[in-house]
Structure formats: C-alpha cells, structure tokens
Structure 1
Amino acid sequence: AAAAGRGELIPLIGFISVGMGSAVLYLLRLALYSPDVSWDRKNNPEPWNKLSPTDQYKFLAVSTDYKSLKKERPSF
C-alpha cells in the first residue's frame, strides 16, 4: 500500500475536524439546553416541569408547530 500524499490528507483532516467539532457542539447543546439534564438539583430539581407547551426543545421539529400547542397537563 502506498502512503497517502499531503494533498490527500488535507481534506481528510478537514472533514474529520468538522465532524468532531459538530459532535462536540451538539453534546454541549444537549448538556446545556435539554430539559432532561439537571445541573442544579437544589434550586431546580425537575427542570422538565417548568417547560411550557410552546417551548421547543427538540433540535429539529419537522411537522410540529410549537406555537399552536395547548397545555394538556396539570400544573404542579
């Protein structure tokens, strides 16, 4: 097997860097903005209860219009 030249490694390193960077950014988004993650258990032990029905927490909402949703659950 012949060694890859420098011109072939530059795009490979670029694509791997973009993929790893986007994975890190997505993990940070999940850790900071997901209602399932609680960083402060004393002041906010259940952050999912503070969401209103119009809050969009999914990364991509294809067919759901969150602005038109109504509350169908009891308040605690």
Structure 2
Amino acid sequence: MIKTMIQHAKKHPGLIPQFFFTTVGLTGATFYLIRLARGPHVTFWDKKKNPEPWNNLDPTYQYKLLAITTDYKSLKKDGPDF
C-alpha cells in the first residue's frame, strides 16, 4: 500500500498533503480510541475479575443514555378525530 502511495505521489505531487493528513488523522483516531478503551470507567474488558461491572458503579453515576420526558396530553393533534 505504501509503495503504491509513493508511486502516485511521484506522478501527482499534489497528493502528498492529502496522504500526509489522512495518515495523521487515522493515526490520531486510532490513539484516541485506544485511550477511550483504557479509560478509568471502562471495566468491562476484564470479564474474569469483574463479570458484572455495572454493580460496581455508584448509584449517582451518569450513564450515557438519552431520556426525553414529554407531556403527551399537551401535544397537538395533526390528524382529524374519527
């Protein structure tokens, strides 16, 4: 793959910045995902020592869930009454 990139870069020098920034972006994204996977709250990687990681969290821990509360009585009807 690198050999073909070098061949393309020799034929089209304008592609060199594109190859450079794409490589830097992919490398940065990879390291970022590795950093997230090794974070302090990620305990589910070790299933032998901690088979139920959700039991170790504090009851006030903010889970990454989306909760929308809507008062359904105040919603307007878009259709006719049958």
Q: Tell me the TM-score normalised to structure 2 length.
A: 0.44
Q: Tell me the TM-score normalised to structure 1 length.
A: 0.47
Structure 1 or 2, whichever has the larger Rg, is 2
